[in-house]
């Protein structure tokens, strides 16, 4: 990837500010030895970890609990051919602490999907990277 006036690397604070702007991101993981990706609602916790809410017995929870995943969010405009993308890479863990679960039940993410026997999943923001695309550089 070329780094020049067409795109800019974002620092961690810029990344976290942008992550707080959109309601849907994508969990990137491995399922049966193949790359997999699932859009989910999310929010950021006080420590900047990414929080998801999903069914306890979902395929997603079985696949990611305890392993390192990537989480991506972005926003692009076709009109201006610009936008940003942020990727958080870190270990995903189901929240098992009752006090933490209770706190997140009040302040954590909501899901646009129905959730049965819901659990919160935390993705540690161990590595946070992002870039901004400034647009008007269409090439083929």
How many whole angstroms separate alpha carbon 71 and alpha carbon 62?
A: 17
Structure tokens at 80: 């201006």
User: Is residue 32 involved in binding its own copies (CB under 8 A)?
Assistant: no
In the complex, minimum distance from the CB of residue 1 to its own copies, in angstroms, rounded to a whole number: 5
CA distance 92 to 69: 6
Query: DSSP 3-state assignment of 135?
Result: coil
User: Which 3 state secondary structure label does DSSP give 9?
Assistant: strand
CA distance 97 to 111: 20
Stretch that binds its own copies, among 10-18, 93-101, 108-116 (CB under 8 A): 108-116
Considering the rule CB under 8 A, would residue 20 count as an interface residue with its own copies? no
Q: Judged by CB under 8 A, does residue 95 bind its own copies?
A: no
Q: Return d(Cα 37, Cα 25) in angstroms, integer.
A: 10
| Region of 11-19, 79-87, 94-102 interacting with its own copies (CB under 8 A) | 79-87
116 lines the binding site for its own copies (CB under 8 A): yes
Task: Name the one residue in this structure whose structure tokens are 């819901």.
Answer: 118
Confirm or reject binding of residue 140 to its own copies (CB under 8 A). yes
- Please give the residue ranges that form the binding site for its own copies (CB under 8 A): 1-2, 4, 6-7, 22-24, 26, 28-30, 34-39, 53-55, 58-60, 68-70, 72, 74, 76, 78, 81-83, 85, 87, 89, 105, 108-116, 118, 133, 135, 137-140
């Amino acid at each position: 990837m070329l780094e020049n006036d067409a795109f800019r690397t974002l620092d961690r604070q810029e990344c976290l500010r942008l992550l707080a702007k959109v309601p849907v991101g994508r969990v990137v993981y491995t399922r049966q030895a193949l790359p997999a990706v699932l859009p989910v609602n999310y929010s950021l916790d006080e420590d900047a970890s990414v929080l998801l809410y999903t069914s306890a017995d979902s395929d997603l929870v079985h696949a990611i609990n305890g392993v390192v995943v990537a989480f991506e969010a972005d926003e692009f405009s076709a009109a201006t051919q610009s936008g940003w993308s942020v990727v958080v890479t870190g270990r995903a863990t189901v929240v098992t602490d009752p006090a933490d679960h209770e706190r997140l039940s009040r302040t954590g993410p909501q899901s646009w999907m129905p959730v049965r026997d819901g659990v919160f999943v935390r993705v540690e923001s161990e590595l946070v990277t992002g870039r901004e695309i400034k647009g008007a550089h269409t090439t083929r």
